[in-house]
Structure 1
Amino acid sequence: MAVGGTRPGGRTARVRTAVLNAAGDALVEHGFDRLDLADVARRAEVGKTTVYRRWGTVTGLVADLLADMAEQSLPRTDNGSLIEDLRANARLVQRTLVDQRQGALFRAVIVAATCDSRAAEALHHFYAVRIAEWTPCVEQAIQRAELPPGTDPAEVIRAVSAPLYYRLLLSGDPIDDATAERAAQAAAAAARAGVYTTAGDSR
């Protein structure tokens, strides 16, 4: 998800920013398997002992990188209708994944999560936070009677981004504006049809 905003000042914050930026660069260039704390320290122009003392391991650094991405994520927009809210979500994911740096960074982090439990935990937390941020737009759509009672808001939000991540990680097909629009429309149509209602709750 796209990032933005400002970071707090202070030497500790500046060191963290420099190290996390350097870690992101190294991940994009070399991937998780070749990520090295000493190389990150050199790129960030900080002492190796600082990096080892604060992050300890490559996995710890990747986990903090994900935490930082969550902190910097742009807030959810509120457009007043389900389809417009889902379009905004799809476009945000699409812009992030096609970004030269962010797309490569997500690939590297996801690869790391497949072989490292701490990286996986950090990744799961990152997406749990992002999904929780966007579920209110589905809850509001239920209140407006745009969706049936019992609709699972988290499942609707997951349905928007799933086709985009499929293209990023598996098919390699373009992740363009039309794809984002299709993902939003498909999720909205399925939700309206009651696909994402909890068993026994739809009326």
Structure 2
Amino acid sequence: MEGMEPGTVRPGGRTARVRAAVLRAAGDALVEHGFDRLDLADVARRAEVGKTTVYRRWSTTTGLVADLLDDMAEQSSPRTDTGSLDGDLRANARLVVGTLTDPRQGALFKAVIAAATCDDRAAGALRRFYATRIEEWAPCVTRAAERGEVPSGTDAREVIRAVSAPLYYRFLVSGDPLDEPSADRAALAAGAAARAGAYGS
């Protein structure tokens, strides 16, 4: 389609099957070798797709990584609704920990974050991924405000960011354990701060 970047078309049929095979192969290659050694020809071989198809659609490894992350955002798990802010934030935090500690998804995130540090298109895809996740979970804070659990005007997006921020710090910087206790602690801290009015808009 004219004006669209390679790899951004979402058609059906054979084209969708080719895209799915290439993205799966790209994920496999990233897990095995990381972003620095990602190669479009290797991805085409793994996907059993012609090299010209891959080069024509995605053109660069960062374009392929960006499309892979867009696909991950499309496939993200739906928000949990437990009926309480603490329960919802805990579910969100445990989902983040589960994703980051998954052998495949954790490796993919590290590779994508590495790509985003040096490529604007990958960085844009990373921002879109997190925007999608935040928009998915923000309503749990809005509903908590409606129930009187947090002050009216609480910035729902900031609360969701506050849940995941310490978990990503552990994942990318400190190397401290990522487990259910750390997830629950992050959720509890964000919920307490929200109730205290720290995220007033």
| Structure 2 portions without partners, runs of 5+ | 1-10
- 2:184 aligned partner: 181
Map Cα deviations across residues 147-172 of structure 1 (whole Å, 9 max, x no partner).
01221100000011111111110011
Shift of 1:10: 2.5
- 2:174 aligned partner: 171
> Matches of 1:152 and 1:23 in 2, distance apart?
37
Aligned residues: 191
- 2:40 aligned partner: 37
User: Alignment identity in percent?
Assistant: 77
Given candidates 122, 136, 141, the residue that maps to 1:119 is: 122
> Matches of 1:40 and 1:194 in 2, distance apart?
49
- 1:22 aligned partner: 25
Tell whether 2:136 aligns with 1:133. yes
TM-score by length of structure 2 reads 0.92
> Matches of 1:41 and 1:50 in 2, distance apart?
8
- 1:100 aligned partner: 103
| Structure 1 portions without partners, runs of 5+ | 1-7, 199-203
> Matches of 1:75 and 1:149 in 2, distance apart?
25
Map Cα deviations across residues 128-179 of structure 1 (whole Å, 9 max, x no partner).
0110110000000011110012211000000111111111100111101100
- 2:63 aligned partner: 60
> Matches of 2:62 and 2:176 in 1, distance apart?
30
> Matches of 2:113 and 2:60 in 1, distance apart?
17
Amino acid at match of 1:165: Y
> Matches of 2:186 and 2:195 in 1, distance apart?
14
> Matches of 1:9 and 1:131 in 2, distance apart?
28
Given candidates 185, 196, 199, the residue that maps to 1:196 is: 199
Shift of 1:62: 0.7
SS in 1 for 2:137: helix
Map Cα deviations across residues 182-202 of structure 1 (whole Å, 9 max, x no partner).
01101000100111112xxxx
Amino acid at match of 1:142: A
Given candidates 40, 45, 49, the residue that maps to 1:46 is: 49
CA RMSD of aligned residues (A): 1.1
TM-score by length of structure 1 reads 0.91
